[in-house]
Structure 1
């Protein structure tokens, strides 16, 4: 219980305010800590929201999560069976675009101009292209 006295020394107390409730430090069991940390690991859940809901800080939850990884806290059986990794999704369109365009063996940047040349590019043509790019950049 916290007590706040409003008044100066030597003068009678004009007001007395008694504040009841939790003192700030909470004693949680290992099972409670593991349950709260596991709740923060669920997909789409924000750690800050879980911390606010349970009256703790984000950093405390991050510490509990670290303890779970080290094996100091044990997840409840109902949560331990759930996958804890993000699902891997491969976008086929990105792969198709990359394979459709052959990769250049050489890429030269002159100012705003990019010159890409393959292994079979003629040396004279490449020299002319570089000179033209330099002239355009000046």
Structure 2
């Protein structure tokens, strides 16, 4: 037909993987899916890296994670019985302040809290503003 394809014929064009079978699709067992999904849930792990390592798309891994959360996939015993650790997060708590009396003024559904020693003029302006807004 005289058709010329714009394809390079010299050199390496890339890797080609041939998958045998009637459909050309891989079949993953439920335990393999659960193991891969669990691997992607580990801290510091990227889903794309896990997917690439196992030859699947990241969307498959996300779907398997969803199935795992919904209970449609069960973790294999080898993964479920492995010891795990929870992250420990320590937050510094502010030093406790001595208990002080607090003035609460309720205007409609608004609560105004004032510390002892608040300027009376300022507090009056706040109350007027809240009443005007209500």
Normalising by structure 1, we get a TM-score of 0.54
| Structure 2 residues without counterparts, runs of 5 or longer | 4-8, 10-15, 104-113, 127-134
The residue aligned with 1:69 is 69
Distance 1:83 1:122, change over 3 A: farther
Normalising by structure 2, we get a TM-score of 0.55
The answer to which structure has the higher strand fraction is 1
The residue aligned with 1:44 is 44
2:26 is equivalent to residue 26 of structure 1: yes
What is the root-mean-square deviation in Å for CA atoms of aligned residues? 3.9
What does 1:2-13 align with in structure 2 at a 5 Å threshold? Answer: 8=3
Give the 3-state SS of the residue equivalent to 1:69 in structure 2. Answer: helix
Paired positions, count: 103
Structure-2 separation of matches of 1:63 and 1:83: 25
The answer to which structure has the higher helix fraction is 1
